[in-house]
Structure 1
Amino acid sequence: MVILALMTTIQRITVEYQRRMNTVLQYIETHLDEPLSLEMVAEVAMYSPYHFHRVFRTLMNEPLNEYINRRRLEKAAADLMHRNEILITDLALRYGFSSNSAFTRAFKKFYGVSPSIFRVQLPTKYSKIRIPKSKNGQPDFLFEKYLWSITNLKNWIDMNAQIMITQMPEMELAYVTAIGHTQVAEAYTTLLQWATPKGFMTLPTTKMVTVYHDSFKVTHPDKVRISAAMTVAKEVKEEGVTGRMQLRAGTCIKGSFEITLPEFEKAWSSLFIWMNEQGYKKADQHPFEIYHNDYRTHPEQKCVVDLYIPVAV
């Protein structure tokens, strides 16, 4: 009985840590352009700075300052990807660096290239990259191979997707956080364990949704933050590790697919290429997926899914 009580207590404490971490991650994400000290963030979590530092490092596998610095650099990289008009100097100031040179040093240390070179080499700007030449003056083979890949993706999406511009309504979601792409399945298992006894899975309005808070182009796959989510009514409250979020209404590129699991990367890459080809710019909101079936019951193990990229209008 003592051991069982101890395990129950540990489980309750772990759930409370994870619940508060949901709040902390949302707070950090919306305040990256402001000063963020350990004391400030610990207050959001309602822990002492010393205790919070230990909890954060254990759950996130990196210290708070390192996490904040990484997220600022990744946000800056995302801005370089999607906002041609923004100056690198402005990015340095926006994300709290003391100077342009300090930002450039930190960015180069993290990504291996300077912000200006990163912007030029972006795959999403393939149409604006000048063709590099080899020493003999011939087009570089890797660039030819890259253009071949882009062409293939454009052809693939033409054959495998229905694309449209749509107005998405506001959506209320319950979610479980996954840190790293390998943790998504476990996050969905936890979400279903919470939702099934409540009868949410039998409601005809319930949809399963995956929200990508980070881009695989700028964040390591082991550190991407992904929400395993489902649509719920507004009155549904947070409980345990299951948090609540709201996806704002807005204009989205919608790509409808029927694809296998290994084809998701291809679907997303081709949809972003379509976005750039059509002259759209990604909005400051997270891409997401809405599923319309259980792929395990599909005769070809395919997902019937809509991919959404919020765009600026």
Structure 2
Amino acid sequence: MKNETLNRRTKIANDILYYIYTHIDTDINIDELSIDLNISKFHMHRIFKDAFGKNIYENIKDIRLQKASNLLITNKYSTISDIANQCGYSSQSSFTRVFKQRFLMTPKEWKNGGFKEFSQNIIAQFPKALLSTANFDNMEPEIVEMPTMSSYYIRHSGYDIGIKKTWQKLYTWVLNNKIENYKQIALYHNNPTITPLYSCQYIACIVPQSTEKITNDKLPQFTIAKGTYAKFDLSGEYGDVLKFIHWVYHEWLPQSGYETTTKPSYAMYHKNHFLSQDENFKLSFYVSIQY
């Protein structure tokens, strides 16, 4: 009974966070959300705070700012007002005020290069990325249309070596369910090169093929969004991924003529370095784009 209650509370907390991420460009209505989840607002707030250590409104503010700070770098054809609207702000002045409180500079200063020192300070927290010798200058993506994918997942707070244990748990679940045909996907709700690593939300996902039967449905589910993506194929070792993400968002996207959206990027593993003994990976990285 205790486990059932914990699983239900975990599912509610994850459902709330999923709703926030997928509706970040709207005026998020907490009353409607509590009705959809069939729980009181008080209970909903308490479950969320217990799970994530901050209240729902603080989380919405954090996610809006994380998305906006990324779009200001990548979407050079969008105005600051466009980006504010895309991230759910009703006015540019309110967006500028909260942005400056968080990043100690205006959105314009950030967009004009202020993000670079901020980003370097974050990467400095990840020595493996600093030591990476990988070079991506000649890499060109394939433009693809990706379908929606239904996944089972475990959420990991933070971009750190603890992700390995999350993947081990997920792989144990796969073996327990005797799932043979599936995809391993890592969802990046944040750009870890401009979001403090301890704040990043990393989602380890299993996407079973439609013929697979799931007998243990302990894990929560959500849908990975369909859309148009730039697909990069790469291989390397632990530490190269963060350096690659930095290159994609800070160099390739601003120079590409494309803009990104608020949909999260994701990596589809062909070889998962968190599950391989040599810590080498082979993956396809998908970045949502528009033109």
Q: TM-score range by the shorter chain?
A: 0.7 to 0.9
Instruction: Name the CA shift for 1:164/1:104 in 2 (closer, same or farther; >3 Å).
Output: closer
- What SS does the aligned partner of 1:36 have? coil
Alpha-carbon distance in structure 2 between the residues aligned to 1:31 and 1:280: 22
**Residue 62 of structure 2: aligned partner:** 70
**Residue 228 of structure 2: aligned partner:** 250
**Residue 262 of structure 1: aligned partner:** 239
Matches within 5 A, 1:156-167: 156-158=135-137, 163-167=140-144
- Per the normalisation by structure 2, the TM-score is 0.79
Matches within 5 A, 1:125-144: none
Q: Are 1:280 and 2:258 matched, yes or no?
A: yes
User: Which amino acid is the alignment partner of residue 185 of structure 2?
Assistant: V
Instruction: Name the CA shift for 1:299/1:26 in 2 (closer, same or farther; >3 Å).
Output: closer
Alpha-carbon distance in structure 2 between the residues aligned to 1:248 and 1:289: 14
Alpha-carbon distance in structure 2 between the residues aligned to 1:28 and 1:297: 30
Does the 8 Å contact 1:211/1:287 carry over to 2? yes
User: Which amino acid is the alignment partner of residue 39 of structure 2?
Assistant: Y
Q: Are 1:210 and 2:186 matched, yes or no?
A: yes
Q: Are 1:61 and 2:35 matched, yes or no?
A: no
For residues 43-89 of structure 1, what are the alpha-carbon distances to aligned partners after superposition, in whole Å with 9 as ceiling and x for unaligned?
Answer: 33322111111111110111111111111222222221222233323
Instruction: Name the CA shift for 1:108/1:206 in 2 (closer, same or farther; >3 Å).
Output: same
Structure ranking higher in strand proportion: 2
Q: Are 1:44 and 2:36 matched, yes or no?
A: yes
Does the 8 Å contact 1:287/1:309 carry over to 2? yes
| TM-superposed deviation, 1:276 | 3.7
Aligned pair partner of 2:92 in 100, 110, 116: 100
Alpha-carbon distance in structure 2 between the residues aligned to 1:65 and 1:222: 19
Instruction: Name the CA shift for 1:18/1:46 in 2 (closer, same or farther; >3 Å).
Output: same
Pick 1 or 2: higher relative contact order, CA cutoff 8 A, min separation 6.
2
Q: Are 1:302 and 2:277 matched, yes or no?
A: no
Instruction: Name the CA shift for 1:156/1:207 in 2 (closer, same or farther; >3 Å).
Output: same
Instruction: Name the CA shift for 1:44/1:24 in 2 (closer, same or farther; >3 Å).
Output: farther
Instruction: Name the CA shift for 1:299/1:69 in 2 (closer, same or farther; >3 Å).
Output: closer
User: Which amino acid is the alignment partner of residue 84 of structure 1?
Assistant: K
Does the 8 Å contact 2:167/2:275 carry over to 1? no
| TM-superposed deviation, 1:12 | 1.7
For residues 114-156 of structure 1, what are the alpha-carbon distances to aligned partners after superposition, in whole Å with 9 as ceiling and x for unaligned?
Answer: 11111101668xxxxxxxxxxxxxxxxxxxxxxxxxxxx9982
Structure ranking higher in helix proportion: 1
Instruction: Name the CA shift for 1:169/1:36 in 2 (closer, same or farther; >3 Å).
Output: closer
User: Which amino acid is the alignment partner of residue 254 of structure 1?
Assistant: F
| TM-superposed deviation, 1:228 | 0.2
**Residue 30 of structure 1: aligned partner:** 22
User: Which amino acid is the alignment partner of residue 225 of structure 1?
Assistant: Q
**Residue 138 of structure 1: aligned partner:** none
**Residue 13 of structure 1: aligned partner:** 5
User: Which amino acid is the alignment partner of residue 190 of structure 1?
Assistant: K
Alpha-carbon distance in structure 2 between the residues aligned to 1:274 and 1:79: 13
Instruction: Name the CA shift for 1:300/1:179 in 2 (closer, same or farther; >3 Å).
Output: closer
Instruction: Give the superposed CA RMSD.
Output: 3.1
Does the 8 Å contact 2:152/2:219 carry over to 1? no
| TM-superposed deviation, 1:295 | 4.0
| Deviates further, 48-57 or 269-278 | 269-278
| TM-superposed deviation, 1:288 | 1.4
For residues 2-60 of structure 1, what are the alpha-carbon distances to aligned partners after superposition, in whole Å with 9 as ceiling and x for unaligned?
Answer: xxxxxxx2222111111122221221122223333443333333221111111111101
- What SS does the aligned partner of 2:230 have? strand
Runs of 5+ consecutive residues of structure 1 not aligned to the other structure: 1-8, 125-152
- What SS does the aligned partner of 2:284 have? strand
Alpha-carbon distance in structure 1 between the residues aligned to 2:82 and 2:277: 52
Instruction: Name the CA shift for 1:189/1:248 in 2 (closer, same or farther; >3 Å).
Output: same
For residues 259-295 of structure 1, what are the alpha-carbon distances to aligned partners after superposition, in whole Å with 9 as ceiling and x for unaligned?
Answer: 1112221222234423444433334432211222354
- What SS does the aligned partner of 1:39 have? helix
- What SS does the aligned partner of 1:85 have? coil
**Residue 87 of structure 1: aligned partner:** 79
